[in-house]
Chain A
Amino acid sequence: MSQPFYVSPEQVMKDRADYARKGIARGRALVAVQYADGIVLVAENTSNTLRKISEIYDRIGFAGVGKYNEFDSLRRFGVRNADVKGYQYSRDDVEARSLANEYAQILGQTFTHEMKPLEVEILVAEVGFSQDTDQLFHIMYDGTLVDEQGMSVLGGDAEAISARLAERWRRDDDLRAAVRGCVAALSGPDRTLGADDTEVAVLSRSNGRRCFRRLDDVEVSGFLA
């Protein structure tokens, strides 16, 4: 049997990172911003059944871009983790920070130890009791965990979208203005996205115990009109 060629660790990591980035860049982007009553999450998604944004727990939401099966199994992990923790301790003991750390561990482990890194970027958002305690945790394919302030952009073309979003976004926008801002930032100057092309959900402080709520196409087109 022949010996495998020597490949330096730097090269291995670089190749994996390139591979993951390419996979993520192929998909459509997603943004999340704070607004007056909580956090709004907007994804470019033509499917009405395969979701990129979903509920984890009372005050926690999840969003993922990249390979669907991969971020969906991370989502399921999150729901299970949160529900078991809430059952064993209390609903108050389930928080985004520790979940984000677990995700960072899983993604980091997979990135360094497996043949193929996960081609995903995910966001764990927690709506606080006031704007100052809202949290957005952005986790990269290699396990890098970033605590973002106010807004977060995931997926391909993130820099351009970030720049467009930063121009329009205000922390105390109402829901309508926030959704319009996010959709405009996602679509860019050359095209327009409608309610059909987007998936929108909020974590709203005024939604009772379960803060997560999906906005249907009718509501979204009302905002975009």
Chain B
Amino acid sequence: MFGPQNDPGSSFVSLLRQVGIEPFSVGDGVSGVTPLTPHATTVLALRCEDGVVMAGDRRATMGNRISNREMEKLVPADRFSGVAISGSAGPAMDMIKVFQLQLEHFEKLDGRAISLEGKANQLSQLVRANLPAAMQGLGVYPIFAGYDLLRETGRLWDFDGTGGRYEERDFVATGSGGGVASTILKVGFRPAMPVEEAVTLACRALHEAADVDAATGGADELRGIYPVVATITRDGWLRRSDDDLAPRFEGFRTEQRAILEGGAS
């Protein structure tokens, strides 16, 4: 037990440091050379009528090799928020784990959840703690989104490698396919979109990003692997099932086929 002088408070990261565990230590041996590590790619979030929609593809790449086809880059942070990562997969997974624990730890110690803005702030501190690793090419660039129970609206943030935290008004996409995805979102976005339309738009953005960016995976019908898509509303986090997503991706393909055949005649 801790005395009043050295009590780490409600922060899980402070607690880890207090017991001698440094969650983001890079070590002294790593410098100059960037090791080849898996990278995660396109993730996005957009606001809709009832909250937010988040989505992330499943492909992780190592150089020009596909290292993983079913990585989950989008996970719930707690009941009312989600976090999606692009960047180095290893540090990112660890960051997500610490972040989820941080939220749960605070909730248990204080008896109430952190506010949505507080959660974004926490994540920004974790990203900043990872800065030395980012300088060596192991950067993590998350998106954070959730339903703000105080303001009764969906909100979303993106982060830069230094922990800079930017709240976005409508939508955001990052990762190697983020440019394409952003454009699709920008063209298709309308304020207060119904949830179902927003889910389709998110799928379309991923579909088009995968079409252009080699490091982004689209829907893989052969293996039955679909992107992770989730909605976060006043009822909390809900991940869409593959059966829900499959017809949407099939729809894009049918459209594309019609265009190609039209061009050939």
Contact = CB atoms under 8 A, between A and B. Distances in A.
Contact of A79 (B97, B98, B108): B108
Contact of B15 (A51, A55, A84, A106): A84
A83 B15 contact: yes
A73 B1 contact: yes
Contact of B21 (A56, A77, A80, A88): A88
B135 interface: no
Interface in A58-97: 73-74, 76-77, 79-80, 83-84, 86-88
Given A84-B16, A87-B16, A87-B97, A79 B111 contact: no
B96 to A, nearest CB: 13
Contact of A55 (B1, B8, B108): B108
Max chain A Cβ within 10 angstroms of own Cβ: one of B1, B12, B97, B98: B1
B105 A79 contact: yes
Max chain B Cβ within 10 angstroms of own Cβ: one of A74, A86, A87, A88: A87
A107 to B, nearest CB: 11
Helix, strand, loop or mixed for chain B's interface? helix
A56 B109 CA distance: 9
Interface size class of B (residues with CB under 8 A): 10 to 19
Contact of B111 (A51, A74, A106, A210): A51
Contacts, number: 37
Interface size class of A (residues with CB under 8 A): 10 to 19
Nearest to B4: A73
Contact of A54 (B19, B98, B111): B111
Interface in A39-63: 51, 54-56
Interface of A: 51, 54-56, 73-74, 76-77, 79-80, 83-84, 86-88, 106, 210
10 closest pairs, A vs B, by CB? Answer: A77-B1, A79-B108, A83-B105, A55-B108, A80-B15, A79-B109, A87-B101, A76-B109, A84-B19, A83-B101
Given A74-B1, A83-B105, A88-B21, 4 more contacts: A51-B111, A79-B108, A87-B98, A87-B101
